[in-house]
Amino acid sequence: MSTSSTSSTNRAVFLDRDGTINEEVGYLNDLSRLRLLPKVWEALKLLKDKGFKLIVITNQSGVARGYFPKELVYKANELIQKRLARKGVRLDDFFVCFHLPDEGCNCRKPKPGMIFEAAKKYNIDLSSSYMVGDKLIDIETGKNAGLKTILVLTGYGRGELKYVIPKKKIYPDFVAEDLREAAKIIIKDSGLDTE
Ligand SMILES: [Mg+2]
Ligand SMILES: [Zn+2]
């Protein structure tokens, strides 16, 4: 049985950036600190090959705090694309919230604003899409948008699983060692592993 779709809606994997795609270094305030996590390109390629749109959803309040300019965020995103391009894969888009937590915007995770914006832009079926991230707020964001959720144990993931998740009692649908394992889980859960 084929599960490939002939309709015009798209599946997507929404991805947190820092700690999920690249190394978590606190505020990424210089390009010299940007390092892709191992095998991320492989994970993204697996998902791309199965037809998933790959969309990054990232909070970058360091801009509003005056730690670094917006341009640095864009340059970091471009550098991620450039490094992935060498491996033959690219992310479809980046959505960034530049606001402070108390500004009351609709985009800062765990609010689902960036996901809804992306869903509209790319005609994404949220019920067959996923959110992957290393923090509980990524999981909350996914749930708030009606996505299935995966916590990766890179970045803050291990500590979030041990200390934050039991306290808040908000649980991801899946836990994965890293993005590569998350990709495999997504493909299996979507019934696309036998194609
Ligand atoms: Mg993160
Ligand atoms: Zn915002």
Place of tokens 């079926």: 125
Residue 149 located in a structural domain: yes
Per-residue pLDDT band for 4 (boundaries 50, 70, 90) equals: low
Residue 133: name the closest of 169, 93, 160 by CA. 160
How far, in Å, from the CA of 155 to the mean position of ligand 1? 6
Q: How many angstroms separate the alpha carbon of residue 111 from the centre of ligand 2?
A: 9
Give the pLDDT mean for 45-68: 97
Q: Which domain holds residue 125?
A: 12-189
Q: Is residue 194 domain-resident?
A: no
**Enzyme catalytic residues:** 16, 18
What tokens appear for 122 in the block?
């790319």
Q: Report if residue 3 sits inside a domain.
A: no
pLDDT value at residue 40: 98
Please report which ligand is nearest the Cα atom of 110.
Answer: 2
Which pLDDT score, from 0 to 100, does residue 194 have? 83
For residue 97, what are the contacts with CB-CB under 8 A and spacing of at least 6? 58, 59, 60, 61, 105, 107, 108, 109, 113, 114
Closest ligand to the CA of 114? 2
**6 is a domain residue:** no
pLDDT at 8: 79
Tens digit of each residue's pLDDT (9 = 90 or more) over 146-165: 999 999 999 999 999 999 99
**Is it the case that residue 6 has pLDDT exceeding 80?**
no
Per-residue pLDDT for 76 more than 60?
Answer: yes
Which ligand lies nearest to the CA atom of residue 100 in the structure?
2
In a domain, 56, yes or no: yes
The answer to whether residue 140 scores a pLDDT higher than 80 is: yes
Residue 20: name the closest of 174, 131, 171 by CA: 131
Centre of ligand 1 from the C-alpha of residue 119, in Å:
21
Burial class (CB in 10 A: 0-12, 13-18, 19+), 114: buried
Whether 2 is covered by a domain: the verdict is no
The total domain count for the chain is: 1
Is pLDDT at 189 greater than 60 in this prediction? yes
Instruction: Write the CATH number for 119.
Output: 3.40.50.1000
* Helix ranges, the chain (H): 40-49, 70-85, 113-122, 136-144, 157-159, 165-168, 179-189
* Residue at 128 is within a domain: yes
Give me the phi and psi of 111, to 5 degrees please: -70, 145
33 occurs within a structural domain: yes
What is the CA(8)–ligand 1 centre distance, in A? 31
Kindly report, residue by residue over 114-131, the tens digit of the pLDDT: 999 999 999 999 999 999
Per-residue burial over 28-49, b if 16 or more Cβ lie within 10 Å, else e, is beeeeebebbebbbebbbbbbe
